[in-house]
Amino acid sequence: KNQVEQSPQSLIILEGKNCTLQCNYTVSPFSNLRWYKQDTGRGPVSLTIMTFSENTKSNGRYTATLDADTKQSSLHITASQLSDSASYICVVSDRGSTLGRLYFGRGTQLTVWP
Amino acid sequence: EADIYQTPRYLVIGTGKKITLECSQTMGHDKMYWYQQDPGMELHLIHYSYGVNSTEKGDLSSESTVSRIRTEHFPLTLESARPSHTSQYLCASSAGTGLTGELFFGEGSRLTVL
């Protein structure tokens, strides 16, 4: 069964600290993996996309990694800011059909305290 | 910022009422989607459309219906709302040939049925 599991479910950190969010998946055949950020009361916004051949990709203070062998991805946030408080959702795409489909994780709720 | 808009943002109605959630995008995307999101749970696809006059049911069974008469417009209708329909509804669109492209989300419509 294709699944996406995220950990931790929630996380509280102090402003300026770093943190790492995890995403494990069993989706096969794998196409790509995206991390989305969802602010409270807003729709999700894409942060980064990882394809099979990519190990790491940065977007400002966000760095995503992908280990396609172990089917794990992480999102590292450096020097956190209050505006980083949000839910971070891992979404994995398959290529098992002509059009493919998406599998969503339940998200990690990050709270950054001043 | 994504150019996709949802109205209303919040709606509180009584059981048995008919409601329509509006969604419009100005990006010219062929594909549009409706997702249902409950607290702490993953997004569930309830409807999608490949283009004008095309609609398909998603993974999650829903009593709602959709229409796609114009490329930019993808409304969702509930003929008779029930308390079990209380949820956050997110509209999204994407470009590309498959269903696994980057999703651009609206800000959501939070529906409460009393």
Q: Closest residue of A to B91, CA-based?
A: A43
Chain A positions in Cβ-Cβ contact with residue B90 (cut-off 8 Å): 43-44
**pLDDT tens digits for A24-52?**
999 988 889 999 999 998 999 999 999 98
- A15 in Cβ contact with A34 (< 8 Å): no
Q: 3-state DSSP call for residue B23?
A: strand
**pLDDT tens digits for B7-53?**
999 999 999 999 999 999 999 999 999 999 998 899 999 999 999 99
Distance separating alpha carbons of residues A112 and A87, to the nearest angstrom: 11
- Chain B interface includes A104 (CB < 8 A): yes
Distance separating alpha carbons of residues B60 and A104, to the nearest angstrom: 13
Q: Is the bond leading into B83 cis (omega within 30 degrees of zero)?
A: no
Q: Closest residue of B to A43, CA-based?
A: B107
Confidence of residue B61 (pLDDT cuts 50, 70, 90): confident
Mean pLDDT confidence for B78-104:
91
- A86 in Cβ contact with A13 (< 8 Å): no
Q: Closest residue of B to A41, CA-based?
A: B107
Chain A positions in Cβ-Cβ contact with residue B107 (cut-off 8 Å): 41-43
Quick one: DSSP state of residue A55? S
